[in-house]
Structure 1
Amino acid sequence: MAATIQNDDVKQKDAGRAVVVAVTTRAVFESGAEDGDGEDVYGMGVAFPLLQALQRVNERLLEGNPAESLLFDVVLIATDSQQQQHSSRIISSTRHYGLEVSRFCFSGQEDFIESLLQNKVQLFLSTDRKEALQASQKGVLSALLDRQAAPSEQLRVVLCGDAVVRPDAGPAPPSRPAAQSFSAQLGEMRRRFGALDSPLSIVLLTSSGGGESAGAALRTLRSRGLSVDEAYCLAGAPRSPILSLLRPHFLLSEGAIGLED
């Protein structure tokens, strides 16, 4: 049975405005590792820089407006049975590293989707492709995390423009409405910052088609209230080289997709 524990160490976000992001504890902490000081806390996993980047965006938003309510609301979800048995260690590890996590969810593989829905998660991030696909099929926007940790100074998000350009190519994924809603919220956040020194960078990437496809994707995103910092049109070329340079924390489409696809 799924259980949710509120973190009283942090101020809870506005439920009506916050952008709820759930990350698996398996991605944030390494189960078999301890921190460098030998304390009884987990070592840092691949998603650790992501949480720091999300926290940095929140800090900058609050610097600009202390009453800001459009903030990232981070939820850690444990689907690994071993980590569930050490829930206190997960909580103490979060406190040890100073991570701003609002809630902890402990659920099995059979009911983690229930935890996502109950917490009104708008983006689910995992290193497990099966989990990401399961969540996406239930209408929760999901993405695979990059196993090569990206920098924490700036949250870097890559949007796959191909699904935006051809929304009617094949059946619509259940998570498409969630993807469109999340992009609008992301765009609203980005508008809070100037062109320079932004803690949030949004990049559009179109894999197929030429400049016209990229232009169509840009116009569609702008109509949803989202402007991007950079845009790349690959025209059929492999995207691995550009992704290795951009080093995004994750790549978003209107379904579940990974950086290695």
Structure 2
Amino acid sequence: MVSTIKNTDVKQKDADHAVVLAITSRAVFESGSKDDDDDDDENGVYGRSVAFPLLQALQEVNKRLLVENPAECLLFDVVLITTDCQQQRQSSRIISSTRHHGLEVSRFCFSSEEDFVENLQKNNVHLFLSTDQNEVLQAMQEGLFSALLAENCAASPPDQLRVLFCEDAVSQPDSSPTSASRQAAQHFSAQLGKIRQKFRMFDSPICITLVTSHGGKESCGNALKALRSLGVSVDEAYCLAGAPHGPILSLLRPHFLLSHGFSSLED
């Protein structure tokens, strides 16, 4: 069973130009938790989970884009997808929670775990984000560009979208499970690059960072060239040369990591 509900509280994005991100509702809302300001049970509102700052940052980018150009069509379009049985039974609660927190979600999608990829495809999703590794891999195998949300993304800033490219996402494209997902990754990266180019070097609501784990300057240079070939100019680049990833990730606080390998950078 697959169903999609449009959010009448927000203006729908231009389907031909918008960059569609689908995020699982359980990554945004924590069932049974207390909201920062209100009692979860009394108000029928879900509390905030790890991806909440990500949605706020996406809204900030859209807001700044429209300030620069009120007719802008290249905007982030957020779809909230629910496969959790408990949350599906409380679909109205998800919608009211979104309204309560002031989140700009265009569509709410409800499906079983078996049919969620069909839901993503019907909504022309460019990037799927989840805290469930199995969902991420399943979507990738069906040709959808996907990324795993880490627990530490809850500490990411709400006023600047921070995207981190891992070296195997740009310099080892063959590591992706399918050619379709490689093409999807390149398309999303190119669209992300176009959005970044609309802002100045400083005081931008979006920051793109490259981290290379191994090798020296040549490895980092090759990764930069691969991104530039897609129209992506990075704000910062770090060559770790085998050093631990934890300290740099704690400093950068990215909302999500783009890597075909989906290996944990916190090891």
**TM-score interval w.r.t. the shorter chain?**
over 0.9
For residues 56-95 of structure 1, the aligned pairs below 5 Å read 56-95=60-99
**By how many angstroms is 1:257 displaced?**
4.8
Distance 1:16 1:170, change over 3 A: closer
Aligned-pair CA distance for 1:48: 0.6
Matching residue of 2:143: 139
**CA 1:154 to 1:2, structure 2 compared with 1: closer, same or farther past 3 Å?**
same
Alignment of 1:41-120 (within 5 A): 41-120=45-124
Aligned residues of 1:143 and 1:258 also touching (Cα < 8 A): no
Partners of 1:16 and 1:70 lie apart in 2 by 9
CA offsets per residue over residues 235-258 of structure 1, 9 Å max, x none? 122222211111100100235455
Contact 2:162 2:207 in 1 (8 A): yes
Q: Normalization by structure 1: what TM-score? A: 0.95
DSSP 3-state at the match of 1:227: coil
Post-superposition shift, 1:173? 5.8
Structure 1 partner of 2:251 = 245
| TM-aligned CA distance change 1:234 to 1:116, over 3 Å | same
Q: Choose from 226, 229, 234 the match for 2:235.
A: 229
Aligned residues: 261
Contact 2:173 2:182 in 1 (8 A): no
Which one is further off, 136-145 or 31-40?
31-40
Alignment of 1:3-14 (within 5 A): 3-14=3-14
- Contact 2:20/2:127 (CA < 8 Å) preserved in 1? yes
Q: Is 1:206 the counterpart of 2:212 in the alignment? A: yes
Question: In percent, how many aligned pairs have the same letter?
Answer: 67
Question: Which secondary structure does the structure 2 equivalent of 1:90 belong to?
Answer: helix
Contact residue 207 and residue 234 of structure 1 kept, 8 A:
yes
Bigger proportion of residues as helix = 2
Report the Cα distance in structure 2 between the residues aligned to 1:255 and 1:202, rounded to whole angstroms. 19
The Cα RMSD (Å) is 1.6
Q: Deviations over 1:66-92 (max 9, x none)?
A: 000000000000010000000000000
Give the 3 Å change call, closer, same or farther, for CA 227–24 of structure 1 in structure 2.
same
Give yes or no for contact 1:173–1:254 (8 Å, CA) kept in 2: no
1:37 alignment partner AA: D
Provide the C-alpha distance between the structure 1 equivalents of 2:178 and 2:212, rounded to a whole number of angstroms: 18
| Equivalent AA in structure 1 for residue 72 of structure 2 | E
- Residue 18 (structure 2) aligns with: 18
Give the whole-Å Cα distance in 1 for the aligned partners of 2:167 and 2:151. Answer: 22
Match of 1:37 in 2: 38
Q: How far apart are residue 147 of structure 1 and its match?
A: 1.1
